[in-house]
Amino acid sequence: MLFKNREDAGKQLAAALEKYRGEDIVVFALPRGGVVPAVAIANRLDAPLDLILTKKIGHPANSEYAICAIAEDGDPICNAAEIELLDPAWFGAATDKVRREINRRRSAYMPALAPQPAGGKTVIVVDDGIATGLTMLAAITALKQRTPKKLIVAIPVVPYDTAKKLMALTDELVSLDIDRNYRGSVGAYYQDFPQLEDSEVLTLLKSVKNKGRSAL
């Protein structure tokens, strides 16, 4: 499957999630890329939107290769085999750096959001795609601590092996493409896949028909 862009993927996901309309829903996006499809889902389902802030820790030899991921109110979720080979001092410094960036993003996005409670609700957590799955696993772990009634992952594309893990950890995985022959990167499934800046995320958040959003 090839999506035109994140908005196209979000609209298709929103249609696949229509059965949840009418439930007590909160949509949580993984910024930055997950905000675009999450906005489409929140608007179609008339649901409030919040963020679950996560960030990967990249390998010191290749920053694009995730060895851990951290959610804002959770512990690192890591590839244990990789961590054992790293200098603990480097890992500690890298973890602190990622936590500072998560805090910076939360402060940057706060003007456009009012925090949404997850307890007892149907929580739909959204990203624009998954590769290793570490950031989504960190988000799932953090959201489970908030005791939702139901936890659903909505994702345009996911590798088959990662999909099996997500199915075991959540109430449902809603995906448009569970690929046994993963193409190696999320961007390979999009015609247009630009990096998003904080200013673009803020504009998107302000566009949401969100009853729980703070006054702008």
Q: How many helices (H) and strands (E) does the chain have?
A: 7, 8
Rg over alpha carbons for the chain, rounded to the nearest Å, is 16
Q: Which two tokens stand for residue 144?
A: 């489970």
- Answer yes or no: are the C-beta atoms of 17 and 125 closer than 8 Å: no
Residue 24, helix vs strand vs coil = coil
One digit per residue, pLDDT tens: the chain, 216 residues?
999 999 999 999 999 999 999 999 999 999 999 999 999 999 999 999 999 999 999 999 998 888 999 998 788 899 999 999 999 999 999 999 999 999 999 899 988 888 899 999 999 999 999 988 899 999 999 999 999 999 999 999 999 999 999 999 999 999 999 999 999 899 999 999 999 999 999 999 988 865 444 433
Domains of the chain with bracketed CATH: 6-54+111-206 (3.40.50.2020)
Pairing of strands 77-78, 122-126: unpaired
Question: How far lies 155's CA from each of 46, 62, 110, 126, in Å?
Answer: 19, 25, 24, 6
- Answer yes or no: are the C-beta atoms of 37 and 193 closer than 8 Å: no
- Alpha-carbon span 15 to 191, nearest angstrom: 21
Strand partners, 49: 27
pLDDT at 151: 98
Residue 160, helix vs strand vs coil = helix
* Residue showing tokens 């988000």: 139
- Alpha-carbon span 168 to 163, nearest angstrom: 9
Largest CA distance in the chain: 50
Q: Which two tokens stand for residue 15?
A: 């249609």
- Answer yes or no: are the C-beta atoms of 123 and 26 closer than 8 Å: yes
**pTM for the full predicted model:** 0.91
Q: What is the dihedral of CA 105, 106, 112, 118, to 10 degrees?
A: 140
